[in-house]
Amino acid sequence: MVLGARVISKVALLSARRLFARDSSNKLFVGGLSYDTNESILREAFSAHGVVTQVRVICDRRSGKSKGFGFVQFSQESEAATALQQMDQQLLEGRNIRVCYANKE
DNA sequence: AGTGAGCGA
């Protein structure tokens, strides 16, 4: 039946979003960071749009140098949503950063 | 690799 197929594909999409990209979350992926941008700088910039509950800049384990991307988590999804709008493509430490919703870990 | 898309031990 058509209705049955629609329900199945809907369920498939929903479960896929649990594993991969999200269209709404309180956690953001931040790419395009300067290699000099640390977690303090990142927190400072994003806390203008809400309560930041966690910040992380991914660094190489051996060199300790930033990989140029990180994650920012807010206390509310609404805060993440506005931060995403306001911070995407904004200049930070000389680089235009890219903000998206984070994928599932 | 003093580099530039991506998704974390």
pTM of the full structure: 0.85
Q: Distance, angstroms, CA A69 to C1' B7? A: 9
Full residue range of the structural domain in which residue A44 is found: 25-101
Given a cut of 80, is residue A24 above it in pLDDT? Answer: yes
State the DSSP string of A39-84. Answer: HHHHHHHHGGGS-EEEEEEEE-TTT--EEEEEEEEESSHHHHHHHH
Name the more confident of A8 and A80: A80
Nucleotide nearest to A22 (CA to C1'): B7
Residue A22 has a pLDDT of 83
Query: Lowest-confidence range among A6-10, A31-35, A46-50, A93-97?
Result: A6-10
* The two structure tokens encoding residue A83: 């931060």
A92 domain-assigned: yes
Strand B nucleotides, any atom under 7 Å to a protein CB: 3-9
How many domains does chain A divide into? 1
Q: What is the CATH number of the domain that holds A74?
A: 3.30.70.330
A71 domain-assigned: yes
Encode pLDDT of A70-92 as tens digits. Answer: 999 999 999 999 999 999 999 99
Angle at A50 between CA A35 and CA A20, to 5 degrees: 65
